[in-house]
Amino acid sequence: MLVDTHCHLDFEHFDSDRDQIVDRAAASGVSRIIVPAVNLDNCPAVLRLAEAYSGVYAAVGVHPNSSAAWQDRWVDTIRDFARHHKAVAIGEIGLDYHWDTSPKEVQHRALVAQVTLAAELDLPVIIHNRESSDDLIRLLADSPLNGLPRPGVLHSFSADWQTAQAALDMGFYLGFTGPVTFKNADDLGRIAARVPLNRILVETDAPFLAPQRRRGKRNEPANVVFIAERIADLHDMDTTLFAQQTTANAARLFGSQLNPSENGNA
């Protein structure tokens, strides 16, 4: 069994066949899916999805590209959403210096407020990082999450080994998506091969970042199998054993409900 720890199943790309997407995932051995919110208006949608599908869970928060109008009082709203019984993380939050949609200082304020909330609620965070590694690592190092048993994950990891090591040293997990399977992804592959097995998560970031074998098509949770196969190969490991390891990692980070074997249901 596998867990897709990051999929935007609520996006309109899936409106025409969402039930079939979930069924295909289950048929491929992907029994759990985490759907992160990207803004306050989006939080109720991901929670409704989590209510509608037994294997779907939610994260709630404000993405850096949605943070331009950030107000500190939003934390109270996110806290209320996070009390939902199927909310397993605060996310998707972080920094993004690629798209000029929110001033850096506002992104920083939103990130600090949300990681502080996560620490208060004893929830992990799902971190977005695009071209912002230095500031991100600095802010996380100064945050109350640093050194906690389950601080969170740097999702769709694409930075350098120095960033990876700094995140690992703070207790974070690293999530890998389709690009690790690309033919020209040697550097990313070398990083994935160095990450300790107990700190790796697999994810699709669907509908984006389809793996090499589905490149150019809409991504979906079933494709997380291809990511697991690639990283298992990089670790010279049996894919089934690797899948068991990453599922155990997801359950350790996000809660035992993410591991069907611990709940007696597949």
The answer to whether residue 74 scores a pLDDT higher than 80 is: yes
Average pLDDT, the chain: 96
The answer to whether residue 260 scores a pLDDT higher than 90 is: no
Q: Is 94 helix (H, G, I), strand (E, B) or coil?
A: strand
How many domains does the structure of the chain reveal? Answer: 1
Could you tell me the pLDDT band of residue 84, with boundaries at 50, 70 and 90? very high
List, for residues 141-169, the tens digit of each pLDDT value: 999 999 999 999 999 999 999 999 999 99
CATH number of the domain that residue 75 is part of: 3.20.20.140
The answer to whether residue 188 scores a pLDDT higher than 80 is: yes
Instruction: Kindly give the interhelix angle for 161-169 and 186-194, rounded to the nearest 10 degrees.
Output: 20
The predicted model gives 92-110 an average pLDDT of: 97
Share of the chain above pLDDT 70, in %: 98
The predicted model gives 40-45 an average pLDDT of: 96
Could you tell me the pLDDT band of residue 100, with boundaries at 50, 70 and 90? confident
Structure tokens at 75: 């934390």
- Alpha helices (H) in the chain, listed in sequence order: 18-27, 43-52, 74-82, 104-121, 133-141, 161-169, 186-194, 224-234, 239-254, 260-263
The predicted model gives 84-105 an average pLDDT of: 97
The predicted model gives 26-51 an average pLDDT of: 97
Range of the domain at 45: 2-263
Structure tokens at 40: 């306050």
pLDDT of residue 195: 98
Could you tell me the pLDDT band of residue 265, with boundaries at 50, 70 and 90? very low
List, for residues 240-257, the tens digit of each pLDDT value: 999 999 999 999 999 999
Task: Return the C-alpha torsion angle 78, 258, 189, 159, nearest 10.
Answer: 10
The answer to whether residue 263 scores a pLDDT higher than 90 is: no
Structure tokens at 34: 């985490």
Backbone angles phi, psi at 43, to 5 degrees: -55, -45
The answer to whether residue 1 scores a pLDDT higher than 50 is: yes
pLDDT of residue 264: 45
